[in-house]
Amino acid sequence: MRHARDNVFAKLAPLEFVSGVGIADSKLAVYLTRPLKEQETRHIREVAASAAGGREVKFVTTQSFTKQ
């Protein structure tokens, strides 16, 4: 699962609206800084699916993460 998380993060990290990738409820969770437009949603789902190695991916809209 961690390998899949790292693969997904490597592919999605350059996108400004992705704040992180984690594991939640036995699924990969992609954390987004804002709601996505339809075209962005399609693109990010395709990229995440190809990088996740068959793992289920969910998307969670949050604020940006900051180190405290």
Domains of the chain and any CATH numbers: 2-61 (3.30.70)
Confidence of residue 67 (pLDDT cuts 50, 70, 90): low
Residue with tokens 């940006």: 64
Determine the length of the chain.
68
pLDDT in tens, 41-52: 899 999 999 999
Residue with tokens 């996505």: 36
d(CA 68, CA 39): 33
- Region 8-20: mean pLDDT is 93
- The reported pLDDT for the residue numbered 13 is 92
> Of all residues in the chain, what percent carry a pLDDT higher than 90?
69
- Model's pTM, two decimal places? 0.82
Contact present, 48 and 5 (Cβ < 8 Å): no
How many other C-beta atoms lie within 10 A of the C-beta of residue 29? 19
Contact present, 30 and 40 (Cβ < 8 Å): no
